[in-house]
Structure 1
Amino acid sequence: MSVAAADWLPAATVTASGRAVLSAGEIERHLLPLVDLEPEENPRLAPLHGCLLALTSHRLVFLHEASLSARALPLASIAHAYPPHRRHNHNPLRSLFSSSSSSSSSHHPRIRIQISLPPSRSEVVAVVVTCKADVDVFYGRLLEAIRARAWEATASAAPASGAPVAEGAAPAEEDLAIRMPVVGVAGILRKEQETWESAGQNLQDAFQDLNALMSKAKEMMELAEKMRQKLLTNSSAQSNSNDEEMGSKQDMQDLLLSVGIVSPVTKETAGALYHQQLSRQLADFVRVPVERAGGMMALVDVYCLFNRARGTAQ
């Protein structure tokens, strides 16, 4: 069954190399090849067969690599995901008259998912894993993504309401400590204690700043990617701009190129598909710098740019 026939699922955008286009804040969590999506109760729902399943922090994306098309199941619509199981108690007489694909799928691990579809109906579908993969690992990461509810995450955290009170009380205690003279052993010990307390406070503030920076890093990378795509689009429309504008635009593109890839392919998420998905991500990434370089780049330069964007030396 083609992906286009499963119109009960929203369509997903796919890159030229066959990878799902991630939305803002979306991270790829796991990949599974040769996955089917079958209805458990409603035969009017068109099934999907032989798809590459990409689990992200927001969706289950079913990619049909031959047609470069995809359908997505939002994690927000999943009411419950049941543990993997196999149909050991299927009727053997019934399997004689059923199709070979349906009878063979009964022996593969199935993850039953209860979903909510518009306007207000509940359906049960099954993710059938027909490849040799650790289904329990995928199921665990699916539960983690559902519980994390990353699609509901706020862009920034509000400051604590009690912070001004604590800041107002600190100077009085500091002034009191400064007015006390440093005399004798007790004064030296008190001075050393103040030094340690000050160092501890500075370290705590540094970690708070680091956490805030890490929470904003993903948003900055997404903003940089949008700006880079916009600059690339405008470069073709404004080919008659002067040298100064082109130079500043190139400097901006160099800066944005060094920001990095939002969701790099890793062995942990891709598994056996690591080299395939890594090459596809490289094909998507290298298109922009190659076009900027006039259609040709040295392999060493591509290697350096890609690894710098991934944040790795491998």
Structure 2
Amino acid sequence: MDRVRWCSDDFQRRVGVGPAEETVVVQQNGVCLYDGGRRIGFDNGLLSLTTHRLLWVGRPNSGESFIALPLVAVLNATMEAGGGGFLRNRTPKIVLHLLTQPALETALLALPHTLPWIDRWRKNAGGDAYAVVSSSAEDHIKLGFAAGGEKNFWRALEETLKAKPWAVTVASARIHGGPGIAGIERQQAARAHATDARLEGAFEDLNKLISQAKEMVTLSHTLAHRTREAKGGELTNDETAELRATMLSMGVEDEEERGGTARMSLTVGFGSFHTQLAHQISNLLTPILSEMENGPQSKYRHMGAGCIDLASAYCRINRALGMQLVSPEDVLKACRLLERERLPLRMKKFPSGLLV
């Protein structure tokens, strides 16, 4: 809710002209506001969707201040239906996922024309004083429609977000045929906004990847425990080797072998970083390469008997390291130390340049 700002009634009437002209699209009574999933006392108000903002006022036509959210702040809008059965009294909601406050300010400054109310969201113009809450850890707000009408409002909101009338560029708005200082500033702000959007998307994808990786580790450990329980005791040597090879191919070491640690670690004291890494590479790849030599029944027979190319080895090593990723150069340097450390693996270079 720190991206939602207080505005006065006089301020509402200053809706701009030309590209900045703001008109009402749809209105709905009986709307409650939530900061994330928490109600914050803004209940049963009038919610207005304009071409540029969402406006909420507790008592329409009373002259009291209203609160506003620029549509440029909305990343996407989703429906959260009301409950049925035991949850039949649950209010249907629209969930708005928002830009961060710094990214919102950058996005507003990147618009092709100046909006009359933009200072309420500019830190340097004292906009923080108008925030509904000083700070919020939530990245979304919810609009609760106690009196219904959520489907029509959501459709209108989706259409407006796709059209982006606040970003329409009018050619006649350019002055003297050149961008000038203001144009250069807008271009810089636009580039910064695009960078912010890409970074937010990248971090969102990274968080999903980390979450899936954790699920993979948990699944492998559950598999190991259930296999032992199903056997009613200790596994045979062949079964243990098969399970360990499967877990290693997923980038996870056996819990009991590692004392409960689910990934490789570079904290073992072998000396320098590359020496440590050489030992870890040997510990990881030796069981796999040994399995390759077991003949046509080996699950790794498609990779060649007892050898693996350096590119495939690099991928397996980084999968096993989890978040402690290493560069190709570090892996190459570590592999060159295998012979010096008298480890069971050796790196070989063929005349073609292939490293295995």
**TM tier relative to shorter chain:** 0.3 to 0.5
- Normalised TM-score (structure 1): 0.37
Q: Judging by fraction of residues, say which structure has more helix.
A: 1
- Normalised TM-score (structure 2): 0.33
* Larger-Rg structure: 2
Structure number with the bigger relative contact order (C-alpha 8 A, sep ≥ 6) is: 1
